[in-house]
Chains A and B, each alone.
Chain A
Amino acid sequence: MQNWYPGDENGVGGIYNFVTKRGACRGARSKISWTQVETGSAITWKYPSCVLRGDDSVGEFYSVALTNHRQQADTGTKMIHLGARTKSKIISKGISAGRGQNSYRGLVKVEKNADGARNFTQCDSLLIGDRCGVHTFPYIEVKHPGAIVEHEATTSKISDDQLFYCLSRGISAEDAVSMIVNGFCKQVFKELPMEFAVEAKKLLEVSLEGAVG
């Protein structure tokens, strides 16, 4: 979970957070699972990756990245399949509000000896307001004819209808947005230990302040 200072509303004074994290699954049936919640920094570039060398090893990447005001996040993962029957799963949720920009950038690479390698990627983006942007850059390099690589992507927007529906039931606009955003992130939050999930939810609420109205 990273919540570096994002700067003021114009991003002035904010931290730049450029990170590379790599993990190697060397042994057979080993597993690495990355879970990240990115809400801070003026600019974030972050790509926690897995090198799946051991046969039957597993890599996972669960990500929530939220940008508000002038924040920019460019984040994703690399899954490098070397061993046989290696599996990887990528779930990425990008949320943009204000003038935020959010990119998913990921590489799924299957080398020629990785018999029976599999990847599943799901990349969902949520827009709040009409001045922000979301982008996805999935890179896929497959050198094994038997590899199965799946990529699903969706982009949606919190609609006026959804907001009004909440308001008309007595829920404030701010609570409505955080409720909808949390719903959107559920798949990732359920991977977090209970205490972290509670923190993550609060962090999103704080980061979304001023995103509507």
Chain B
Amino acid sequence: MLEITNLHARVAGKAILKGLNLSVKAGEVHAIMGPNGAGKSTLGNVLAGREGYEVTDGTVTYMGEDLLALPAEERAAKGVFLAFQYPVEIPGVNNTYFLKAALNAQRKYRGEPELDSMQFLKLTREKLKVLSISDELMHRAVNEGFSGGEKKRNEIFQMAMLEPRLGILDETDSGLDIDALKTVAEGVNRLRSPERGFIVITHYQRLLDYIVPDFVHVLADGRIVESGDQSLALELEEHGYSWIKERKLGAAA
């Protein structure tokens, strides 16, 4: 469903992605690990269509379509969802109101009927219950004054409500207590289906005990430098990223 070929991207005039290749088929979960500053969030932003991220080479095909040609809001309506590493606060805008506007904008774009308040409320209740998220967060402004963990839970809740085709989670597990971590995993596992794909960016193998990935990739210096299965994550945990470099050097010698 997602085919990234030779992707090069610049941010603020600086080359960050330097020939990245990644193929995600429907039904698969891909974990991406890699050192700080490697370009993981940049990849998420490029896929979600953030302005200022300039693609200088390469292609991204999503469901047979040129993803890069679409504006961000259309990508969302077509099922691309990015759970942010640092979700932003929007003071004064009620969380429920925001989410309803988002869901209905997407539905409208897809030619589906919009949900009225009752239908929306019912859906909200269902999803909150499944993810055991307190409905107190729904009455507050979007992310305003949320703790780090609450923000991440809110991202997962939004994902559950919007039911994307392609979920990209950017370090959604960072800074979470064990219960919140399980909520995040539950959010992904509930949505996991043969029609959906996930890219899970994380620094910790721990998350992958709960969300078992089909593939693990290492992103370093703007490229995928190593791919494997879950055992790769375990080895990384043990040896660190320098281990990959050394292995590559060893192979080259």
- Judging by beta carbons under 8 Å apart, are B92 and A159 in contact? no
Who on chain B is nearest to A187 by CB?
A: B92
B241 within 8 A of A: no
Nearest CB of chain A from residue B169's CB, rounded to whole Å = 13
Chain B: which residue is nearest A186 at the CB level? B92
Number of chain B interface residues as a range: 20 to 34
A168 x B162 contact (CB < 8 A): no
Is there an interface contact between A182 and B101, defined as CB atoms closer than 8 Å? no
Contact of A184 among B73, B75, B92 (CB under 8 A): B92
Cβ–Cβ contact B51 & A183, under 8 A = no
Interface range, A side: 20 to 34
Interface of A is mostly: helix
B91 contacts chain A at the CB level, 8 A cutoff: yes
Question: A171, B88: Cβ atoms under 8 Å?
Answer: no
Q: Are A167 and B73 in contact (CB under 8 A)?
A: yes
Instruction: Given A159-B88, A161-B88, A164-B50, answer yes or no on A170-B93 (Cβ-Cβ < 8 Å).
Output: no
User: Are B92 and A170 in contact, CB atoms less than 8 angstroms apart?
Assistant: no
Write out, one digit per residue, whether chain B residues 102-119 have a CB within 8 A of any chain A CB (1) or not (0). 110110010000000000
**B105 and A175: CB pair below 8 A?**
yes
Cα A79 to Cα B102 in complex, Å, equals 42
Chain B 64-95, CB-CB to A under 8 Å as 1, else 0, gives 00000001110111000110100110111110
Which partner residue on chain A sits nearest B50 by CB separation? A164
Q: Is the CB of B49 within 8 A of A168?
A: yes
Report the minimum CB–CB distance from A192 to chain B (whole Å): 15
A152-168 CB mask vs B (1 if < 8 Å, else 0) is: 00001001111011111
Listed in ascending order, the chain A residues whose CB lies under 8 Å from chain B are: 156, 159-162, 164-173, 175, 179-180, 182-186
List the 8 shortest-distance A-B pairs measured between CB atoms, nearest first. Answer: A183-B92, A170-B76, A183-B93, A169-B102, A167-B72, A170-B106, A161-B88, A170-B105
Q: Which residues of B contact A (CB under 8 A)?
A: 48-52, 71-73, 75-77, 81-82, 84, 87-88, 90-94, 97-99, 101-103, 105-106, 109, 141, 158, 162
Other contacts beyond A159-B88, A170-B162, A183-B93: 17, CB < 8 A: A161-B88, A162-B88, A162-B90, A165-B88, A167-B71, A167-B73, A169-B105, A169-B158, A169-B162, A170-B106, A171-B101, A175-B101, A179-B90, A179-B101, A180-B90, A180-B92, A183-B91
